Structure 1
């Protein structure tokens, strides 16, 4: 589409992202620096050792100010979980007929929809990637911190959510998308010592695929559908996750 095309409006909420309230069914932890117990302290030390061994450069991330987020819309406080064990990849289901110059407008429309229409505290995703491979800060609270999002019902705790702007059910994402996703997951998971090719055992907060309390062994880079019964992130994007994991591990210096 040409530069005059208007961005597609947000799609109706995916069942995996709730219907009218933020899907925060997961147990909410305090920021890790706020009085962690002995077990958490040991885990944090182990994560620090692993992160020191396998780090990845921080990719360029467009800040909330950079994409024009209206900070008066969101709640003023931040929501944190204790760590980041895995990343869930989504598609926004907002259509592909946008120019990359229009991506901030698409992101603003999703933000307004999540906050003003659904009543969530902030945009649900922790990060977004447009079809040109630009990476955007999503939910506020610090891109390097374990900010709890609202993206995968039952598994918002100890994870990060990455939405690719577009619909990839039958259309393949551009190569720049996979490149950006690999760089982002390598850096974000590397901060917590996670191997993008590994797995994470997560406790479900309750959803349509895993009952509350179920221990689910999921890939460190998973698709939305792995934690919740949904088409998201679209079959064509889902097929790219294996390559994204491998590339992310390479960015961390893993052989």
Structure 2
């Protein structure tokens, strides 16, 4: 696995509670009392959420506990076990979004209530971000980051970094301190742990930003709705009267004043979609809407987080990912256009209107003319639920249909950089996995293997 890691030990961070904890038997403590800051009182309620940062520090003496399958003699950079204010999602962030290092970043967390520590978990590399030439990328706020990890209600954390030697030998050094440790192992600057409390969903949000997000879907549901209702639509262009207002002519059709039935591609029935208001988005933290020209390709993702969540927790998970993408990664909004949970519920992602061609930050180099759909969970070794696969199929049948797309077809996108050189014309299946557009394992082998089923289901829903 590839993880991105970085360090700048003296970097300032937001205040966070940090009390040393006794570790479970057999786990070595690796911090002196001098490295521990005073606790910050927990305030309740914390609405609409919060992000707290802790810089990774040299461990003195170095942690003598090697990770499984690691040839290293120990870990010299990380965070000793400590108590923190309650959080539910975490990730590691650094300064330069273009910088990456082969290595491993591992975390352990302590559950609220039981006090039980989790096993060590690897943080996956975050391969999603805005395209290089986009206004979002040029804003100067972007940072490098791992994928966020949902851990549930937690109040303790420990981190260890397992860097590789510059020569690629995999051997690790021990004993360096501060920036020297980072320099010796080639780690980027600014390595820190971000702890995210997603907060509670607000009962109401009457701000102009919230109203703007509502109005972007006004053709589909009344302003202030928590869900866009399902709509049974015709699956052929013979009766366009019941179609959504956002129907699009097919790509090959010459533009006319009003699209006729003959120019409209088949569209699948519109599924029910929970709006941003429905999952409790804090609209005050996002940037303005950003659109692309059309939607030719749907890229399927997984969030690389735990599968051990209840579907009632899905809104909180999305709020956590949203806050992490904006506050930690420096993006204008959450990266994905849609989320799907394991119970098959669909959620609006990036703001701007679910029927519109909103530009996301989901597939580096190919965010233009595409949409990103993220299934909550990790599907490297776990099969996605039938409910999730069916929901993705319904969403794609409708979303691609609005823009003239055939789920069993192909389309050409122009690379903005990344896996393919900038300007390269690349032909994709209209339903592709994240790995097809970028060097990543996303959406996991088990979900990727379901893309054929999703294509067939979506085409059938379109009446093809």
Matched, 1:212 2:418: no
- CA pair 202-212 structure 1, distance change in 2 beyond 3 A: same
| Runs of at least 5 residues in structure 2 that lack an aligned partner in the other structure | 1-86, 93-122, 137-250
Equivalent residue in structure 2 for 1:17, among 109, 125, 128: 128
Per-residue CA shift, 1:178-210, capped at 9, x if unaligned?
A: 100000000000001110000011000001x21
Contact 1:148–1:158 (CA under 8 A) maintained in structure 2: yes
Residue in 1 that maps onto 2:103: none
Q: 1:15 to 1:122 in 2, by over 3 A?
A: same
Q: CA RMSD in A?
A: 2.5
Q: Deviations 1:62-89 (Å, cap 9, x if unpaired)?
A: 00000000000101x2100000001000
> Cα distance 1:13–1:204, how it changes in 2: closer, same or farther (>3 A)?
farther
Structure 2 CA distance for partners of 1:25 and 1:15, relative to 1, 3 Å: farther
Change (3 A) 1:81 1:46: farther
Asked whether the equivalents of residues 24 and 156 of structure 1 are also in contact (C-alpha less than 8 Å), the reply is no
Report the Cα offset of residue 55 of structure 1.
1.5
Change (3 A) 1:135 1:26: same
- Cα 1:62–1:10 change in 2 (3 A) is farther
- Give the CA deviation at 1:17: 1.1
| Deviation for aligned residue 1:247 | 0.3
Q: CA deviation at 1:43?
A: 5.9
The equivalent residue for 2:434 is 224
How many correspondences in the alignment?
Answer: 234
Aligned mate of 1:93, from 304, 314, 317: 304
Match of 1:134 among 336, 345, 355: 345
- Structure 2 length-normalised TM: 0.48
Bigger fraction of residues in strand: 2
1:166 equivalenced with 2:377 (yes/no): yes
More helix by share: 1
State the 1:56 CA deviation.
Answer: 1.2
Larger relative contact order (CA 8 Å, sep ≥ 6):
1
Quote the offset at 1:141 in angstroms. 0.2
| Deviation per residue, 1:84-137 (Å, 9 max, x gap) | 001000000111010000000000000000000011000000000000000000
Q: TM-score, normalised by structure 1?
A: 0.85
Counterpart in 2 of 1:121? 332
Q: Name the SS for the 1:162 alignment partner.
A: strand
